Amino acid sequence: MAKVKKTQKNDPEEDRIDCESMNDKEIEEWVATTGKVLVVLESENKEVYKRIYNDFILDLQQLRQVGRITDEDCKDILENI
């Protein structure tokens, strides 16, 4: 399961994944789980879908910034969710 870094309450960084301590398998599981959640939410709750999707994009950007995934990985992930 993905590790989540908790910060101060009401902090926009709250619930961000802990990119630096996640191993490759945890990243793959996080991507797969988030993708499944997004598929369900897309038809059931557009508001929550948008929030989760935006958080997902922010987390992917964070993974790229710390060198855990490449731009190509990010592109592939987004094409397959």
Tell me the domain boundaries of the chain. Answer: 4-79
Contact criterion met (CB below 8 Å) for 21 and 67: no
pLDDT at 18: 84
* Percent of the chain topping pLDDT 70: 81
Helices 24-44 and 46-65: crossing angle in degrees, nearest 10, is 160
Averaged over 14-25, what is the pLDDT? 81
Averaged over 55-68, what is the pLDDT? 94
Averaged over 6-19, what is the pLDDT? 57
Which residue do the tokens 């789980």 mark? 33
Q: What is the dihedral of CA 63, 53, 79, 76, to 10 degrees?
A: 10
Averaged over 42-48, what is the pLDDT? 95
| Amino acid code (one letter) for 67 | G
Range with the lowest mean pLDDT among 12-16, 23-27, 67-71? 12-16
| Residue 42 to residue 9: CA distance in whole angstroms | 27
